[in-house]
């Protein structure tokens, strides 16, 4: 009788960018207890330190970004660069204004958590970012609802372009070629669109469901698929 050998699942890898040592220590402790496992492979107090070591291409599954470093203005430029290079970014901040949350989503964050939302939300958000599934925490959900009327959502122009191209092609790779972006960036845009729909109570977990939502909202018509 033989037994099959099952390879252990690789941990989800995370990099933390935050200017407070207590946040680094807390995140590492929480991740050490996570299941499936999460491994913090880098801890940086500034974006400059992060880019010096990781650049735009060194592999990491998820980047956890504090939006405000050393009391400076929000790190929108950092978020934009991370997102444009295909990073899956979870913004983790003490800032909770609707406008900031929505701006971060428009710039490419896959989800936004406030630091008051606790361990379970953070671990779930990291796993969701890695698996390309939407995750909407309580504060992000409130911001999305406040930004909508009758359940309509505010997709960015790039998110709309990705959706339309995805419905008109057979794969994320073909979307990437058409729009001159990486397949990873395509997945990030789709994940964020799904999160926005989930946040207003209109989940779209499949391609067909997302297509139905896009048609409902006038993003495209049946004629666009011909």
CATH number of the CATH domain containing 182? 1.10.10
Q: What is the pLDDT of residue 20?
A: 94
**Per-residue pLDDT tens listing for the chain (226 residues):** 555 555 667 899 999 999 999 999 999 999 999 999 999 999 999 999 999 999 998 999 999 999 999 888 899 999 999 998 989 999 999 998 888 898 898 888 999 999 999 899 999 999 999 988 889 999 998 888 877 654 567 788 888 899 989 988 888 899 999 998 888 888 888 988 888 888 878 888 888 888 888 887 778 777 777 6
Q: What is the pLDDT of residue 3?
A: 54
Q: What is the pLDDT of residue 200?
A: 79
123 in any annotated domain: yes
Residues 72 and 181 in one domain: no
Q: Which residues contact 17 (CB under 8 A, 6 or more apart)?
A: 44, 45, 46, 47, 50, 63, 64, 65, 66, 69, 78
Domain hosting residue 206, numbered range: 157-225
Stated pTM of the model: 0.72
Residues 16 and 126 in one domain: yes
In Å, how far are 31, 36, 179, 187 from 173, measured between CA atoms? 32, 28, 10, 10
Q: What is the pLDDT of residue 5?
A: 54
Q: Which two tokens stand for residue 177?
A: 């070629």
Long-range pairs for 22-25: beta carbons < 8 A, 24 or more residues apart: 23/66, 23/92, 23/115
Residues 120 and 214 in one domain: no
């Amino acid at each position: 009788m033989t037994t099959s050998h099952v390879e252990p699942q690789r941990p989800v890898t995370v990099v933390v960018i935050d200017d407070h040592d207590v946040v680094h220590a807390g995140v590492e402790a929480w991740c050490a207890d996570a299941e499936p496992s999460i491994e913090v492979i880098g801890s940086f107090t500034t974006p400059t330190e992060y880019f010096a070591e990781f650049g735009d291409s060194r592999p990491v599954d998820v980047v956890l970004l504090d939006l405000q470093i050393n009391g400076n203005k929000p790190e929108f430029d950092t978020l934009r660069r991370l997102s444009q290079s295909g990073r899956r970014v979870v913004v983790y901040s003490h800032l909770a204004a609707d406008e900031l949350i929505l701006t971060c989503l428009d710039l490419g964050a896959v989800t936004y958590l406030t630091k008051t939302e606790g361990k379970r939300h953070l671990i779930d958000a990291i796993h969701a970012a890695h698996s390309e599934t939407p995750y909407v925490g309580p504060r992000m959900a409130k911001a999305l609802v406040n930004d909508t009327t009758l359940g309509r959502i505010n997709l960015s122009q790039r998110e709309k372009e990705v959706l339309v191209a995805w419905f008109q092609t057979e794969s994320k790779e073909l979307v990437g070629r058409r729009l001159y972006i990486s397949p990873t960036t395509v997945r990030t845009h789709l994940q964020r669109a799904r999160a926005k729909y989930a946040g207003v109570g209109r989940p779209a977990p499949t391609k067909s469901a997302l297509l139905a939502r896009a048609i409902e909202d006038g993003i495209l018509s049946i004629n666009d698929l011909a």
